Amino acid sequence: DGVLYSEVRRPCRVMLLLNPHSGKGQALSLFTGHVQRMLTEAGVPHTLVITERQNHARELVREVDLSQWDAMVIISGDGLLFEVVNGLMEREDWEAAIQTPLGILPGGSGNALAASIHHYSGSQPVSCEELLVSCGFMLCKGLVSRMDLVSVHTASNQRLFSFLSLAWGFVADVDIESEKYRHVGAARFTVGTLVRLASLRVYQGRLAYLPVEEPPSRPPAQVSPPPPASAFCSSLLCRPSGASPGQNTFHNSCNSNNAAKAKRGDGTAPAPRGPPDSLLAPLEQPVPGDWTVVEEEDFVLMLAMYQSHLAEDLLAAPGAALEDGVIHLFYVKAGISRTALLRLFLAMEKGAHLASSCPYLVHVKVRALRLEPFSPKGVITVDGESVEYGPIQAQVHGGLARLISG
Ligand code: ADP
Ligand code: MG
């Protein structure tokens, strides 16, 4: 633990999955206009796969021969990476498959993970094309870090893996309702927030969590200090001596893909996919005794975040790190005025909402949580995607995945 960057390893044979309908529908022109040449000049061989429908990427990575690929990179919003992560975790060889370095190039309207890794790199906030270029450089550099995943269970016993967020109430409603404003790009969340504020409501349910016990011996994980911005460019242009442009100069360093060595299943009953969730009791049973049950049952929102950004311009969890095994649980209690809630979201742009000491906002660091909404209908989102509504619980798995970051 501690500084968790692995060695510099330039990913080669990158599968680039692109959702042509993400964001304003410009992912392909964003790729050809800003990233393609960068990758070619850096000598990163890549194959572009344009998704044809929802779950295309998920099915593809579930079946693909991973020994042929050194990284899976998406150019889209967070939703396409959600497909890739879950496709990998649905494989028999999930344990090796989830070691495949993943990458993200922001091409959607919800680019929260891209904004988070840009933030972790210590760079000033940027948006749109500049964020894309920043993530393009990270991909060329090929630094791989570990990333936490959160295992999520729904009432019908579905299991999902999440890298970003679990939301209910105000935030989840905005996420789904703002789909219709996707033509405005990332601004859809601002528009959606204002619309939802006008019809602010209370959501009832029971929330419980397992708090992080903070031993003084283990300081929070820190990312290593980023190189100066110019180092991105120079490392992009430098090649090992003797290598010529277009050559697969980093091939030798790319052959250690564990997935290639993973044994296939032998046809016996499939083992449960993913690591065991040792912190969770079955959803039908009460939460374990060391959990905290929140007294309030009237909420405006519940938001669990494991990375810093909720959207490109919303620094919801300033203390989050890529791999620290922490879920930042936020909830806003009913009774908050529209103005105060708006003020919270405005402050979130700079991550200042926690310092505003709003008495309705609660923030706790947790390892696991359970939510039992009382109303029969509603919206719950995981990584910005709508999932089965009803009782839901989750636990974090520190560093389960690997991500190309700064
Ligand atoms: P955005 O940030 O703009 O919402 P996402 O990457 O989150 O972009 O994608 C939005 C949704 O589109 C996700 O649910 C994803 O699974 C789905 N999707 C992926 N590829 C396609 C496609 N080719 N056509 C339609 N939907 C797709
Ligand atoms: Mg999305």
Please provide the DSSP assignment of 327-368 as one string. Answer: EEEEEEETT--HHHHHHHHHHHTTT-TTTTT-TTEEEEEEEE
Q: Residue of the nearest CA to atom 25 in ligand 1? A: 53
Torsion over CA: 28, 34, 37, 41 (sign): negative
Q: Which residues pair with 73 in a beta bridge?
A: 16, 103
- Each of the 406 residues of the chain gets a pLDDT tens digit; together they read 222 223 445 446 999 999 999 999 999 999 999 999 999 998 889 999 999 999 999 999 999 999 999 999 999 999 999 999 999 999 999 999 999 999 999 999 999 999 999 999 999 988 789 999 999 999 999 999 999 999 999 999 999 999 999 999 999 999 999 988 888 888 889 899 999 999 999 999 999 999 999 777 655 555 444 433 322 222 322 333 333 333 222 223 333 444 433 433 444 555 569 999 999 999 999 999 999 999 999 999 999 999 999 999 999 999 999 999 999 999 999 999 999 999 999 999 999 999 998 999 999 999 999 999 999 999 999 999 999 999 999 999 999 999 999 8
Could you tell me if 204 and 241 lie in one domain? no
d(CA 98, CA 244): 32
Residue 331 in domain: yes
Q: What is the pLDDT of residues 15-51, one digit of tens each?
A: 999 999 999 999 999 999 999 999 999 888 999 999 9
Cα 392 from chain centre: 19
Largest CA distance in the chain: 67
d(CA 197, CA 97): 42
Could you tell me if 24 and 169 lie in one domain? no
CATH number at residue 363: 2.60.200.40
Q: Which of 16, 22, 78 to mutate to test the pocket of ligand 1 (most atoms within 8 A of CB)?
A: 22
Could you tell me if 120 and 187 lie in one domain? no
3-state secondary structure (DSSP) of residue 206? strand
CATH number at residue 126: 3.40.50.10330
Residue 273 in domain: no
**Residue from 1, 65, 78, 173 carrying the catalytic annotation:** 78
Ligand nearest to the CA of 50: 1
Residue 405 in domain: no
Could you tell me if 62 and 190 lie in one domain? no
Q: What are phi and psi of 329, to 5 degrees?
A: -95, 125
Could you tell me if 292 and 201 lie in one domain? yes
CB 150 within 8 A of CB 326: no
Could you tell me if 204 and 222 lie in one domain? no
**How many CA atoms, within 13 angstroms, populate the side-chain half-sphere of residue 228?**
2
Going by C-beta distance under 8 Å and a sequence separation of 6 or more, which residues neighbour residue 237? Answer: 41
Could you tell me if 135 and 160 lie in one domain? no
The full DSSP string for 18-70 is E-TTSTTT-HHHHIIIIIHHHHHHTT--EEEEE--STTHHHHHHHHS-GGG-S
Cα–Cα distances (Å) from 274 to 161, 162, 267, 333, 400, in that order, read 9, 12, 18, 34, 9
Could you tell me if 69 and 132 lie in one domain? yes
Cα–Cα distances (Å) from 149 to 24, 57, 210, 308, 374, in that order, read 28, 19, 17, 14, 27
Which atom, in ligand 1's list, is nearest to the CA of 179?
4
Q: Which of 16, 339, 6, 371 lies closest to 165, judged by CA?
A: 371
pLDDT of amino acid 161: 98
Estimate the crossing angle of helix 78-89 against helix 56-63, to 10 degrees: 30
Is 78 one of the catalytic residues?
Answer: yes
Report CA(359)–ligand 2 centroid distance (Å). Answer: 31
Ligand nearest to the CA of 111: 1
Residue 272 in domain: no
How many CB atoms are closer than 10 A to CB 53? 9
Could you tell me if 75 and 163 lie in one domain? no
Residue 267 in domain: no
Q: Residue of the nearest CA to atom 27 in ligand 1? A: 54
Residues with CB under 6 A from ligand 1: 19-23, 51-54, 56, 76-80, 83, 108-110, 182, 384-385
Residue 98 in domain: yes
Tokens 């049952």 — which residue? 297
**What stretches of 199-348 show up as alpha helix (H) in DSSP?**
229-237, 258-261, 338-348
Ligand nearest to the CA of 55: 1
ipTM over 0.90: yes
Could you tell me if 156 and 251 lie in one domain? no
Residue list, CB under 5 A from ion ligand 2: 77, 79, 110, 384
Residue 287 in domain: yes
Could you tell me if 205 and 225 lie in one domain? no
Q: Which two tokens stand for residue 321?
A: 């790190």
Residue 40 in domain: yes
d(CA 285, CA 300): 26
The parent domain of residue 41 ranges over 14-149+218-261
Q: Residue of the nearest CA to atom 11 in ligand 1? A: 79
How many CB atoms are closer than 10 A to CB 161? 25
pLDDT of amino acid 12: 66
Number of domains in the chain: 2
d(CA 165, CA 328): 9
Could you tell me if 212 and 229 lie in one domain? no
Secondary structure E strands in 212-325: 292-293, 298-305, 309-311, 314-315
The full DSSP string for 89-129 is HTSTTHHHHTTS-EEEEE-SS--HHHHHHHHHTTPPP--HH
